[in-house]
Amino acid sequence: MEMEGYSFVWLLMTAGGALVLGMAIAWGVSRTRRRTRGETAVTEAGSRRIYDSENERTGGQ
């Protein structure tokens, strides 16, 4: 009889830990800073410059 109570407590601790971890991950993802439009534009311009220079170097192949 005593083992049944212990198993139930262990189940609650395991499930509760997973729930707390899931909530922490969800909170962290929701708090992650998004890039501004200016930052996105700078990134896109840099990527485009790299691709263009590579195309010029290889002749567009």
Rounded distance between C-alpha atoms, residue 23 and residue 17, angstroms = 10
Task: Convert the pLDDT of each residue in 22-56 to its tens digit.
Answer: 999 999 998 887 888 999 999 999 999 999 999 98
Q: Residue 1 above 60 pLDDT?
A: no
Name every residue whose Cβ is closer than 8 Å to that of residue 43 and which is 6 or more positions away in sequence: 35
Task: Please give the span between the terminal C-alpha atoms of the chain, in angstroms, as a whole number.
Answer: 74
Residue 27, token pair as written in the block: 């909170």
pTM, two decimals, is 0.48
Residue 15, token pair as written in the block: 């499930």
Residue 59, token pair as written in the block: 């002749």
